[in-house]
Amino acid sequence: MTSDDTVPLPDHPALRIYSGTLPRSLEALNAHPALADLALRFAPYDQREIDRHGGYERCIDATGRIPTRDGSLHDWLNALVWLHFPQTKHLLHEIAIDPAAAIDARNGRSPRQNAAALFDEVGAVALCSQPCVVRELRELRWRLLFQRPASEFRVVIIGHGTLESLVDPHIGLTSKTLTLHVDAHTMSLAESKLAAALDARVREQFAGRIATPADLLPLPILGVRGWYPDQSDAFYANERYFRTRRQRM
């Protein structure tokens, strides 16, 4: 895509992995090479067609088209995640339409489908180079965790709902997180190269480790250094946001 095909994304550190730009049109989205191997295209949102196929995910499966609302930042950010994490997004889509899933009558999804839906909307990947970092995340030791240097702890947002919320962040914003142990080289990659390096591994790890929403760890992402304007001691002392006990699910 040329510069004429894109507009700048809102300036937030979490969005920089997505190249800092947003395609102007469906044509620009569909020109991206990441779609070539997926045989998918972005198309205008048509609620009647979605209903006819039995829902959003089944419409994608039946038509090969991803419904995208014109002017919707939410939908356009979803498209950006498809372009940068195509293998991961395709896995989430496959889980959503799995005909063998044991459906819960209360919401029409299996536990694994619930986890995939959560990750699709509010998911993040916590990159860790040291085992103690994962332990700090599991034990809710937030001050230690968020003081870690970028060589030991980085966060990549995959959930497009969370990306949209980060345009105007509010206290309480929390992601459901997959932990991923990576080497020093991966930890040092620039944002522009990080998605390509992670996509296959995120897909593999989600497929092998995530069976229910409880397998995804909550992470109060505004604690990541530089992700919120006021990161004073009082901010990190707010236990209504940085909870020290897990809530029962």
Percent of the chain exceeding pLDDT 70 equals: 96
Above 90 in pLDDT, residue 92? yes
Answer with the one of 86, 108, 130 that is the final residue of a domain.
108
With b meaning 16 or more CB within 10 Å and e meaning fewer, what string describes 101-128? Answer: beeeeeeebbbbbbbbbbbbbbbbbbbb
- Same domain (yes/no): 209, 125: yes
The verdict on residue 247 lying in a domain is no
Answer with the one of 72, 89, 108 that is the final residue of a domain.
108
| Boundaries of domain holding 189 | 117-236
Looking at the structure of the chain, the number of domains it has is: 2
> 188-224 pLDDT, tens per residue?
999 889 999 999 999 999 999 999 999 999 999 999 9
- Same domain (yes/no): 69, 149: no
- Same domain (yes/no): 14, 94: yes
pLDDT bin (cut points 50, 70, 90) of residue 247 is: low
The verdict on residue 217 lying in a domain is yes
pLDDT bin (cut points 50, 70, 90) of residue 90 is: very high
CB-CB contact of 197 with 125 (8 Å) = no
- Same domain (yes/no): 144, 216: yes
- Same domain (yes/no): 231, 147: yes
pTM of structure = 0.92
